[in-house]
Amino acid sequence: MSTAINEANVRLDQFFTVAEARQDRWRRLLTVARAWEAAGKQDASGAVTDKKRSSVVNSFSELRQWESFFAYPGPALLKTIEGRITQGDATGTARLIQSISAALLSHSYRTNAADWGSPDIFTGSISDKLPIASNGNMPQRPYFEVLIATAAFPSTWPGFREEFRKLRRSQDQFFYETVFVGSFEDAVLGTILNGSLEAVIISEGIPFASVNNSPLLREFLSTHLAATGIGTDFSELSLSLAQALKLVRPELDIYLLSDREVEKVAGDPGAECFRRIFYQVEEPLELHLSILDGVADRFSTPFFDNLQKYAQRPIGTFHALPVARGKSIFKSNWISDMGRFYGVNLFLAESSATTGGLDSLLEPTGNIKVAQELAARAFGADHVFFVTNGTSTSNKMVEQALLAPGDIMLVDRNCHKSHHYGAVLAGALPLYVEAYPLTKFSMYGAVPLRTIKRALLDLKAEGKLDRAKMLVLTNCTFDGQIYNVERVMEECLAIKPDLIFLWDEAWFGFARWSPFYRRRTAMGAAAVLEKKFKDPAYRAAYAEQEKKFGADLDPADESLLETRLLANPGKVRLRVYQTNSTHKSMSALRQGSMVLVKDQDYHTVEEQFHEAVFTHASTSPNQQIIASLDVARRQMELEGYELVNRAIQLALDLRREVNSHRLISKYFHILGADEMIPADFRNSGFVDYITPGANWAKAVKALREDEFALDVTRLTLVCGTAGYDGTQFKNMLAAKYDIQLNKTSRNSVLLQTNINNTRSDVAHLIKVLVEISQEIEKRLEQGGSEERDTFAARVKSLMEDVPDLPDFSYFHDSLRENPASITSEGDMRAGFFGAYRQEQCEHLKLSSPEIDRRIKEGPALVSANFVIPYPPGFPIMVPGQVITSDTIDFMRKLDVKEIHGFSAALGLKLLKPSFLEAAGGREVRRLSKEKGTIKKQAA
Ligand SMILES: Cc1ncc(COP(=O)(O)O)c(C=O)c1O
């Protein structure tokens, strides 16, 4: 059969997400097989039938090259299909394809022997027959696949496969099938393509090149190799392969079968990526047990497992928490419906105890501690803290732990409110760095690295760099801009070698499981930098830089802003923190959040970190949230790769469908990377994922190099062009179509795909958008010119008459230690608490002319509190900030109802000039004196 591939049809996303593309191939094959069957029934001459048959031949050969990387349907069933096609059995071919395709779609092959066409498939040695499917008494045994990369002739593979099957035992916790490949390249391909893999066995002596010459697979492979940074030093092939596979999926267990001195191989530091090393297959049962053990290790959820056991025990409770065990609920005359709704387990699993198989979240020593260690392994962190009050709390914990009063915290003004409050609580002075505006869509992007470098160099020029403790950035931003995390940290460390980074990855926790996004996460980038700083080549490059710029960078040297700076590897301290709302992108219950730590100086802050946990964590943490964090980690370690790929696929589908749909695209549009990220920050020249001509290599390059990339799963749908403002559109979708979505802006709404979404969800949304577009069409057609004019005016108002976004102005002089300073940090805390005394505050109505007069003539208007309109959701005023005409203009144009910190009836809450005069910078001066800055400046 020929390997005819229509490369023109291969879309970029086929490279991104393979599961859906695979299903599409089976569906296409089924369609042509059915057409062949139908033609055979009517076609007397046979000419049409022949043509249809050759379509089946082509479609089958296209599909087959991909199928060798999956255990199901496997070589035997594929051979049966081939035989039926050769024999001209159209009906038999169509039936078999139909059943395989259905089994793949429903995943029934994981539990149903009939799908394999072999009743013995799920049995162990013939004497030990045991179905894996649930039989009522026994829970279902999860299924996975194991990739075996071997130099043995393919003719021997079926025999090996049988050998592995014979090792199965009734007490095995899981069930697996094997997939064989014969080269390095095919092993990489298999790992990328097959999301059901949980383990890989590499035998030494495998060749590098695949015998598979398909240009499609070759392109797929080379771009993935580039994307994941897999090297080309293949002197030690098995080791290189293991390292390469770890870059794709770090969670995979990899085993080496060596025929050399295994003791020596095991002693190689690079061998840490192998879970175990065996001397050839001298102990097949050991290998089998190791494979199961490796998966059991990830499957294990110490806290959740114990909670389940706890729930089954007859426990008498004499502690607070009447709902524990549920008796007050199930026996109640009035609230037993609550028990019926939630089910008994919720109450059996509730306790306020920290003993009896449970643990204490505040001082974990048992299964919570182990669960956190497993999470640290999964996320590539040194330590993980589970948090049960959301990332709002995680952020405040990290900030309190690492910042002291008077420290300077560089922070995106557009960040989540928890950081602003974190600064108030810690008494740190925020130095706001501005994100680039996307005025047209009434939202901000992310903070350019140049702005951050500028701020650090300014601090240096003023002798305050030692007080700049932390940089806080949101990655990705609410709207999907992803930082080049590695570069940001590297260049900042070049200016301040011990700067601490807090990456708020509230929305981006899932990214760890995408090989493309991982490098742009805090933990992924920290791992890259850790390696880089130890690399002699990096040291040499740094030495060159030092020759040019000196060891102590001169803050007046403007060329530093243009230079890609290297950090001094001899001085640098890598101190990285990440917070993520596990509940936002993984299967944790609401408020489930984690703090990830990769800080080489953690031991110096451990005590204060625990203090911060004690300060913020509830003493009654919810057991179910802790358990769900444990389970979410299990899921991501076992199927995160496949699920995240699917979420990305669905996002791409949605983007393409909306933007190319004849009717929908007249009124709606999803913003691409080019609209969300100015060209200056896309040096690779990348436009967007769905632009015609976009190819995978370009997308990969952009993800590696550009200053910002777009997370495709965050979709900004412009609805202003359909005459709806964001809030109106969001409410309509919820009320009329049961569609809930994320945030809104003046003229857009933010949609998000995650691991929970299906193709049906996408179909539903598309159908709704068609319906809404049809209604608009009808209204415009029937309403005559008046209706059309009204519509055009509304669209213009939403899309063009957009208020300029106000930048942060400055803190009032009295809250700054040196009003002449070029850096803008200020004592927000003094402003915040100043407002606690009514007599120190005043109110002015937004429409009052007094506001305009004071802006012109003074005394300055100084905000007493945070004012946060939703949308856009960032504080347009913070305590102590001087209010300028920009801010007032923005407020006056704002037509949103929800503005936190502002009462239209009372007006703006301001700090009185008398208070500010009295404050006179006292507090800041005291702090800066304590920190020695004033002394230094005087000197
Ligand atoms: C960037 C960012 N950080 C932190 C949070 C707070 O997270 P949580 O809702 O888990 O408290 C949010 C919430 O939307 C957010 O957008």
> What is the average per-residue pLDDT within 471-478?
96
> What is the average per-residue pLDDT within 564-579?
98
Residues 6+ apart with CB under 8 A from 624: 346, 349, 350, 589
For residue 131, name the pLDDT band (cuts at 50, 70, 90): very low
pLDDT per residue over 368-412, tens digit each?
999 999 999 999 999 999 999 999 999 999 999 999 999 999 999
581 Cα: distance to centroid of ligand 1 (angstroms)? 7
Beta strands (DSSP E) in 622-755 are 669-670, 708-710, 714-718, 748-752
> What is the average per-residue pLDDT within 754-759?
90
pLDDT per residue over 688-714, tens digit each?
988 887 776 788 889 889 999 999 999
Residue 568, helix vs strand vs coil: coil
Interaxial angle between packed helices 184-193 and 237-248, expressed in degrees from 0 to 180 and rounded to the nearest 10: 20
395 Cα: distance to centroid of ligand 1 (angstroms)? 9
Residue 37, helix vs strand vs coil: helix
Is the Cβ–Cβ distance between 482 and 705 less than 8 Å? no
Cβ 581 under 6 angstroms from ligand 1: yes
Average model confidence (pLDDT) for the chain? 88
Cβ 123 under 6 angstroms from ligand 1: no
Cβ 577 under 6 angstroms from ligand 1: no
Whole-number Å distance between alpha carbons of 403 and 397: 10
For residue 231, name the pLDDT band (cuts at 50, 70, 90): low
Nearest to 819 by CA among 920, 923, 936: 920
Pocket probe mutation, ligand 1, options 387, 394, 418, 590, max atoms within 8 Å of Cβ: 418
> What is the average per-residue pLDDT within 105-117?
87
Provide, for the chain, the percentages of residues in helix, strand and coil under a 3-state DSSP scheme, each rounded to the nearest 5: 50, 10, 35
Cβ 420 under 6 angstroms from ligand 1: no
> What is the average per-residue pLDDT within 203-229?
71
Cβ 392 under 6 angstroms from ligand 1: yes
Interaxial angle between packed helices 90-106 and 18-42, expressed in degrees from 0 to 180 and rounded to the nearest 10: 160
Cα–Cα distances (Å) from 768 to 28, 651, 729, 738, in that order, read 27, 17, 12, 10
- The pLDDT value given to residue 244: 87
pLDDT of residue 770 exceeding 70, the answer is yes
**Lowest-confidence range among 72-81, 129-138, 242-251, 826-835?**
129-138
Residues 6+ apart with CB under 8 A from 698: 684, 685, 686
Whole-number Å distance between alpha carbons of 325 and 36: 62
> What is the average per-residue pLDDT within 808-822?
92
- The pLDDT value given to residue 24: 87
Half-sphere exposure of 28 toward its Cβ, with a 13 Å CA cutoff?
Answer: 17
**Lowest-confidence range among 11-25, 489-503, 666-680?**
11-25
pLDDT of residue 165 exceeding 80, the answer is yes
- The pLDDT value given to residue 341: 96
CB count within 10 Å of CB 524 equals 22
- The pLDDT value given to residue 134: 42
Beta strands (DSSP E) in 241-322 are 253-258, 276-279
Interaxial angle between packed helices 485-495 and 449-461, expressed in degrees from 0 to 180 and rounded to the nearest 10: 10
Sign of CA pseudo-dihedral 916, 882, 747, 785: positive
Whole-number Å distance between alpha carbons of 171 and 169: 5
Half-sphere exposure of 559 toward its Cβ, with a 13 Å CA cutoff?
Answer: 4
Whole-number Å distance between alpha carbons of 378 and 694: 33
- The pLDDT value given to residue 6: 38
Is the Cβ–Cβ distance between 406 and 429 less than 8 Å? yes
> What is the average per-residue pLDDT within 727-752?
91
- The pLDDT value given to residue 713: 95
Nearest to 609 by CA among 627, 597, 591, 618: 597
Nearest to 901 by CA among 937, 864, 847, 934: 864
CB count within 10 Å of CB 800 equals 10
Half-sphere exposure of 871 toward its Cβ, with a 13 Å CA cutoff?
Answer: 23
Cα–Cα distances (Å) from 758 to 144, 754, 761, 887, in that order, read 22, 9, 5, 42
pLDDT per residue over 879-915, tens digit each?
999 999 999 999 888 877 789 999 999 999 999 999 9
Q: Which atom of ligand 1 is nearest to the CA of 389?
A: 11
Sign of CA pseudo-dihedral 513, 517, 519, 523: negative
- The pLDDT value given to residue 214: 65
- The pLDDT value given to residue 205: 85
Whole-number Å distance between alpha carbons of 637 and 622: 23
Nearest to 81 by CA among 32, 141, 127, 152: 32
Cα–Cα distances (Å) from 383 to 206, 379, 490, 595, in that order, read 37, 10, 22, 8
419 Cα: distance to centroid of ligand 1 (angstroms)? 10
390 Cα: distance to centroid of ligand 1 (angstroms)? 7
pLDDT per residue over 477-513, tens digit each?
999 999 999 999 999 999 999 999 999 999 999 999 9
Cα–Cα distances (Å) from 349 to 257, 267, 353, in that order, read 44, 46, 11
Whole-number Å distance between alpha carbons of 170 and 190: 29
Whole-number Å distance between alpha carbons of 427 and 558: 32
412 Cα: distance to centroid of ligand 1 (angstroms)? 14
Which token pair is 637? Answer: 């370690």
Pocket probe mutation, ligand 1, options 412, 581, 742, max atoms within 8 Å of Cβ: 581
- The pLDDT value given to residue 228: 56
For residue 268, name the pLDDT band (cuts at 50, 70, 90): confident
Residue 318, helix vs strand vs coil: coil
654 Cα: distance to centroid of ligand 1 (angstroms)? 25
Residue 937, helix vs strand vs coil: helix
Cα–Cα distances (Å) from 582 to 293, 359, 408, 719, in that order, read 26, 21, 29, 29
Q: Quote the distance between the C-alpha of residue 749 and its chain's center.
A: 20
**Lowest-confidence range among 145-154, 203-212, 677-686?**
203-212
Whole-number Å distance between alpha carbons of 37 and 651: 36
pLDDT of residue 33 exceeding 50, the answer is yes
- The pLDDT value given to residue 1: 32
- The pLDDT value given to residue 371: 98
pLDDT of residue 516 exceeding 90, the answer is no
Cβ 390 under 6 angstroms from ligand 1: yes
pLDDT of residue 127 exceeding 50, the answer is no
Cβ 508 under 6 angstroms from ligand 1: no
**Lowest-confidence range among 10-24, 297-311, 711-725?**
10-24
796 Cα: distance to centroid of ligand 1 (angstroms)? 33
* CA angle (841, 842, 844) in 5-degree steps: 150
> What is the average per-residue pLDDT within 656-678?
96
- The pLDDT value given to residue 227: 58
892 Cα: distance to centroid of ligand 1 (angstroms)? 28
Half-sphere exposure of 898 toward its Cβ, with a 13 Å CA cutoff?
Answer: 12
pLDDT of residue 606 exceeding 60, the answer is yes
DSSP letter at 669 equals E
Amino acid at 33: A
pLDDT of residue 599 exceeding 80, the answer is yes
Which token pair is 497? Answer: 């070698």
> What is the average per-residue pLDDT within 803-828?
92
930 Cα: distance to centroid of ligand 1 (angstroms)? 34
Q: Which atom of ligand 1 is nearest to the CA of 477?
A: 1
Q: Which atom of ligand 1 is nearest to the CA of 395?
A: 4
> What is the average per-residue pLDDT within 18-23?
80
Give percent of the chain with pLDDT exceeding 90. Answer: 68
The secondary structure of 366-435, three-state, reads CHHHHHHHHHHHHHCCCEEEEECCHHHHHHHHHHHHHCCCCCEEEEECCCCHHHHHHHHHHCCEEEEECC
Q: Which atom of ligand 1 is nearest to the CA of 584?
A: 10
Which token pair is 710? Answer: 């777009």
**Lowest-confidence range among 11-25, 339-353, 398-412, 470-484?**
11-25
Pocket probe mutation, ligand 1, options 387, 391, 578, max atoms within 8 Å of Cβ: 391
Whole-number Å distance between alpha carbons of 125 and 172: 13
pLDDT per residue over 911-926, tens digit each?
999 999 887 655 555 5
Sign of CA pseudo-dihedral 263, 265, 270, 275: negative
Residue with the nearest Cα to atom 9 of ligand 1?
390
Cα dihedral 550→551→553→559 (10° resolution): 40
Radius of gyration of the chain (CA): 31
